[in-house]
Amino acid sequence: MQLHLSTWKEIEEYLLRSRGIIIPIGSTEQHGPNGLIGTDSICPTAIAGKASLEMDILVGPALTLGPAQFNLKFPGTISLRPSTLISVVEDYVLSLAGQGFERFYFLNGHGGNIAAARAAFQEIYTKYSLRAEESSSPRCRIMSWWEYPKTNSLRLSMYGEKEGMHATPSEVAMAQYVYPEHIKEVRNVEWKPVPSEYLNSHKGDDHFDAEQHRRSHPDGRIGSDPSLAKPEEGQQLLETAAAEMLEDYKKFLEEE
């Protein structure tokens, strides 16, 4: 069930059955020579969409813009300041919390969103924690699709070390499956592994400024070979992730 394709009465009825919602969150930024700029939003949107066919869950409108300042020197990248994303998440959650929603599950496709989303959650909870009267805050959770254990194993079994960190074959493959008419050709990608130290010290897209980033990664890839991507692998990844998301979401709903 997609919120934007429902009427308000359908949502009113949904609230009698469930207090939870799933929100795809991605970014709009370069994804290497053949990756779509919308890749990080396309993946979680498609995973949540697939999952919503299997269980009575509500999927909210995707947040397609995130902090990606490090990619601003690649044309087409749009970056929200973290403070902007914090405001967006606050407004999103508080709007629905006022109507009875209690559990907000952000399905994430972009490492750079995690810090800002968590900061937003703490801002939201603070409002409740400072209140004198008893009150219970909504609960938020952010999970990136590649964190699900089976999905993670699958992508590594498919691409191994060439999965890399950005413009990965797994995300490119998923987007290819979703938009077959937008598969871009790429050849002769020169691949070099990225040092594990780099991966470690930049996790969560903790990258430096845009000039330096483009200098270090001239075609936009970080340690990946996205020319390996195939749409049928994307389908497998998507289905695996959708199944794992449902399990994790159910646990989140049942918590405490």
Cβ nearer to its own copies, comparing 161 with 206: 206
Please, what is the minimum distance in Å from the beta carbon of residue 235 to its own copies?
18
Choice from 64, 108, 152, 168 touching its own copies (CB under 8 A):
64
Cβ nearer to its own copies, comparing 10 with 160: 10
DSSP calls for 125-161: HHHHHT-SS-----EEEEEEGGGSHHHHHHHHHHHGG
For residues 237 and 170, the answer to whether their CB atoms sit within 8 Å is yes
Interaction residues for its own copies, span 173-232 (CB under 8 A): 179, 182, 184, 197, 201, 204, 206-212, 216, 220
Burial degree of 219 (CB within 10 A; 0-12, 13-18, 19+): middle
Choice from 65, 158, 173, 222 touching its own copies (CB under 8 A):
65
Local structure of 193: helix, strand or coil: coil
Task: Give yes or no for residue 254 binding its own copies (CB under 8 A).
Answer: no
Choice from 135, 157, 188, 196 touching its own copies (CB under 8 A):
135
Gap between the terminal Cα atoms of the chain:
25
Stretch that binds its own copies, among 48-56, 136-144, 151-159, 234-242 (CB under 8 A): 136-144
Local structure of 45: helix, strand or coil: helix
Please, what is the minimum distance in Å from the beta carbon of residue 7 to its own copies?
6
User: Site size for its own copies, by CB under 8 A?
Assistant: 98
Task: Give yes or no for residue 153 binding its own copies (CB under 8 A).
Answer: no
Residue (of 142, 143, 150, 96) closest to 117 by Cα position? 142
Element (H, E) at 44: helix 39-52
Please, what is the minimum distance in Å from the beta carbon of residue 136 to its own copies?
7
